[in-house]
Amino acid sequence: MTALRTGRVSSRFGSSRLARKATPYGFVAPTAILLIALMVVPIVLVISYSVSTGSITSKDAPFTGITNYVTLLTNPDFWNAAFNTLVFTVSSVVAHLLIGLGFSLMLNSRLLGSVPRAIFRVIYILPWLFTAAIIAVLWRLLLDPQGVVNYLLQAVHLAGSPIAWFGDPGAALFAVTVMNIWAGYPFFMISLLAGLQGVPADLYEAARVDGASGFQQFLSVTLPQLRPIIISMAMLDVLWTTQQFALIWLTTGGGPISVTEMLSTFTYKLAFTGFDFSMAATSAVIVLIFSLIVAIFYVRSQRSES
Amino acid sequence: MSNVARGRRVKIAGVALATMTVLLATACSSGGGGSTSADGKVSIDFSQWWGSELPDGDLQKIVTSFEAANPNITVNLLTQPYSTLQDQTTTAGVSGTLADVVGLDGAWVNNLVKQGALDNLSTEMTSTSYDASQLSSQVQIKGSTYMIPVVNFVYPLFTNDALLAQAGVTTPPATRDEFLADAKAISAKTSAKGWILPLGTTNPNGVQNDVMSWLWASGGSMMKDGQPDLTNDGVSSAVNYVKSLYDAKVVADGTFTLQEPDKVTQFTNGQVGMMVDSLAHITTIQKANPNLKFSISAIPATDGYTGKRGIPYASWGIGVSDKSAHKAEAWKFVQYLMSKDVNANVSSLAHGFPGNSTATPDFTGSDPLYEQAFKIYQAGYPANEFVGLPTSDQLMRDFDTAFQKTLNGDGSVSDMLSATQASWKKAF
């Protein structure tokens, strides 16, 4: 019996070595396959579309090298969308940070009782609970020429006639940015509040002993302690805001006269109204490259933190 | 860990890997088409948005009656809202997974034909000796039919009776001059605006329904020999006229981002006195504001015009997938929907007008406005020159953006039309 078992083991010696080597790969395989199928393949496909013409819509899509990139990068509409995206993103991220920081400091303050703090916490986080469609409808109603904002402005004589906030070329970019700021600040607020609650009290105590004023404590203790969170949040917010599509599409559609055209809406229109999937892919690849650069900085900042 | 156990793990991992590969391969290759069962019964898919706009279950009843008449064919309804179906149809056309029978908007056809996604229905008609003369219209590319309008929804002029009366207007305007005068009177004598012009670019169909409709109503055309002809006198006159309405400040605020639903809402709430809109919205308006009294009439034409008036329309169109394994059955279903009685029934349910010219909708129990609209429809002709054009949405959007600039004071109408003409030509 023992001899028989020994014989089996020795006959399987080669296969057991193979099995030992293959086991980790077997476990990794499902994840690897999913990553390849859901990430690598689509990205490679999009890149391949971007270097061809008439991809998807025609059976033969000839290779055109970097022609699409040259065409797109010399298209003033693309640069208009890129500029609008830059203004929209920078304004939104800065405002998200300032408002989020202000509200988180307020919610963390000892000056606020527990009940008002709970009430404010619920009120301030509300925008984050709404979906993009709800936010768009809400702001369209608020900023309608016959809406609440115009009524109030006219009531206090700040406006003589109703302003079509989303329809006026001079006001539309401002209006969509304000809407996006409103929709996005709670994420900063919650994250910074969590950071503030983790700042050791003895640091403030030591600062007070050294005679630091409240503002000096904020500059020398609070901000340095929040720095890693602020950097991470800002980079994530840059990525998310750059890709904002739903709010723009549901309110202005990139208009009026393209003043709210973003890279996201520009790419969508190339693909689904112009059916120029090659140029849409080119635009998407350019956005991807930009996102990758930000992502690399994000990962680096995460590594340095850890 | 024993070797046996380890070996078992490797086998499990191998099986998992193989299963996932098969699943992924299946997911990537599976089409949206129908199937044939062992007993020879054929199942076809019908993707459309109609089911979501008809009363609950009505489309299924029509399908059931078809299945009763054709026991070997089963039709699976794939109903989605219009807004999502457009993108899905485009992607399905690209990937070759279009449903056997597909509900179509005329604006999608050209691109789907370019992709080779739609079956040439002219071939099906010839092979089955189908009498195409009964069809009120067909959407053709290079002489071949790819879409048949099943139901047409026309866009007449809606006027708010109370606001017109308040402004001292007794009958709806019949000419452009009358319309401008009435719009001015409404804006001056009531709290409402005279007209609404939705030029939002999210869905730029305002160009078709609210701008070009003025051209078609006077018998004009924006096309010549299959090519854009935006610089002709008719187009110039219509676009200048719309600009004159905007400049006279008789148009509702927010034109540049307003969409069709905004137009309906503002008319329903009595914020505007007149609009050009789809008959399909009559029920919506009456449900939202049962007290609102309104009339419909033909879109005003130029002074002295006596010819037939083109009336804009949108369609519930139908086509067959070129990749369908059951084209014969799919075509049979299309013929059924286009047959005189069934087509009249679908049209009545949808409050539209039949695609079969021999069918007459049943107006029994429906609002008299429908019968009145049918008379307007019969007196004129359905006109929508965007149907079947390449990337028609993009053409409308190009026009829309250029027109917004002109309305905003940046350039003249003639410059705008010349520039848009050049931009459109690239798509042809």
Domain residue ranges of chain B, discontinuous segments joined by +:
35-151+314-369, 157-311+390-425
User: Which residue from A27, A164, A256 is facing B253, i.e. has the nearest CB?
Assistant: A164
- pLDDT of A2: 47
Please give, rounded to a whole number of angstroms, the shortest distance from the CA of A126 to a CA of chain B. 27
Please give, rounded to a whole number of angstroms, the shortest distance from the CA of A69 to a CA of chain B. 19
Give the N- to C-terminal CA distance of chain A in Å, as an integer.
56
Distance CA B315, CA B282 (A): 16
CB contact under 8 A, A275 and B255: no
The answer to whether the beta carbons of residues A64 and A52 sit under 8 Å apart is yes
Residue showing tokens 């490679």: A44
Q: Taking CB atoms and an 8 Å cutoff, what residues of chain A touch B17?
A: 26, 29-30, 33
**pLDDT single digits (tens) A90-105:** 999 999 999 999 999 9
Q: What is the mean pLDDT of residues A53-76?
A: 87
A47: pLDDT confidence band, cut at 50, 70 and 90? very high
Q: What is the DSSP letter of B118?
A: B
Torsions phi, psi for B276 (to 5 deg): -100, 120
CA distances for A235 relative to A188, A298, B263, angstroms:
12, 6, 40
The Cα angle at residue A183 between residues A187 and B88, in degrees rounded to 5: 110
Distance CA B22, CA B25 (A): 5
In terms of residues, how long is chain B?
428
Yes or no: domain A74-305 corresponds to CATH 1.50.10.10: no
Q: Is B213 exposed, middle or buried (0-12, 13-18, 19+ CB in 10 A)?
A: buried
User: Which residue from A27, A252, A258 is facing B257, i.e. has the nearest CB?
Assistant: A252
Q: Which parts of chain B sit beneath pLDDT 50?
A: 1-4, 6-7, 10-32
Distance CA B189, CA B186 (A): 5
- Chain A, 95 to 154: residues with Cβ < 8 Å from chain B are 144-146
CB contact under 8 A, A168 and B256: yes
Within 10 angstroms of residue B15's Cβ, the number of other Cβ atoms is: 11
The DSSP bridge pattern shows strands B272-276 and B193-195 to be parallel
Q: In Å, how far from its chain's centre is CA B160?
A: 25
Indicate the CATH number for domain B157-311+390-425: 3.40.190.10
Interface check A16 vs B, CB under 8 A:
yes
CB contact under 8 A, A33 and B17: yes
Please give, rounded to a whole number of angstroms, the shortest distance from the CA of A67 to a CA of chain B. 18
User: Which residue from B114, B199, B202 is facing A249, i.e. has the nearest CB?
Assistant: B202
Q: Where are the domains of chain A?
A: 15-50, 74-305
**pLDDT single digits (tens) B202-214:** 889 999 999 999 9
Interface check A14 vs B, CB under 8 A:
no
Q: Which residue of A has its CA nearest to B14?
A: A26
Distance CA B242, CA B122 (A): 39
Residue showing tokens 């988180």: A104
The closest of B61, B60, B153, B146 to B104, measured between CA atoms, is B146
Please give, rounded to a whole number of angstroms, the shortest distance from the CA of B352 to a CA of chain A. 27
A8: pLDDT confidence band, cut at 50, 70 and 90? low
Percent of chain A with pLDDT over 70: 94
- pLDDT of B85: 87
Residues with Cβ within 8 Å of B62's Cβ and at least 6 positions away in sequence, in order, are: B337, B342, B345, B346
Within 10 angstroms of residue A46's Cβ, the number of other Cβ atoms is: 17
Mutate to test the interface with A, among B8, B20, B196, B253 (most CBs of A within 10 A): B253
Residues with Cβ within 8 Å of B295's Cβ and at least 6 positions away in sequence, in order, are: B158, B159, B161, B172, B369
- pLDDT of B393: 86
Q: Taking CB atoms and an 8 Å cutoff, what residues of chain A touch B393?
A: 273
Q: Taking CB atoms and an 8 Å cutoff, what residues of chain A touch B23?
A: none
Distance CA A95, CA A177 (A): 10
User: Which residue from A25, A29, A164 is facing B254, i.e. has the nearest CB?
Assistant: A164
| Average confidence score pLDDT of chain A | 90
Residues with Cβ within 8 Å of B330's Cβ and at least 6 positions away in sequence, in order, are: B44, B100, B101, B119, B320, B321, B324
CB contact under 8 A, B17 and A257: no
A13: pLDDT confidence band, cut at 50, 70 and 90? low
pLDDT tops 90 at residue A20: no
CB contact under 8 A, B256 and A255: yes
Distance CA B32, CA B15 (A): 28
- Chain A, 207 to 266: residues with Cβ < 8 Å from chain B are 249-258
User: Which residue from A26, A34, A255 is facing B13, i.e. has the nearest CB?
Assistant: A26
Q: Which residue of A has its CA nearest to B16?
A: A30
CB contact under 8 A, A166 and B257: yes
The closest of A84, A91, A87, A120 to A182, measured between CA atoms, is A91
Q: Which residue of B has its CA nearest to A27?
A: B13
Counting one residue from chain A and one from chain B, the pairs whose CB atoms sit within 8 A come to 129
- pLDDT of A269: 92
ipTM surpassing 0.90, yes or no? Answer: no
**pLDDT single digits (tens) A219-269:** 999 999 999 899 989 999 999 999 999 999 999 999 899 999 999 999 999
Q: Taking CB atoms and an 8 Å cutoff, what residues of chain B touch A16?
A: 3, 6-7
Answer whether B35-151+314-369 and B157-311+390-425 agree in fold: yes
Q: Which residue of A has its CA nearest to B4?
A: A16
CATH topology of domain B35-151+314-369: D-Maltodextrin-Binding Protein; domain 2 (3.40.190)
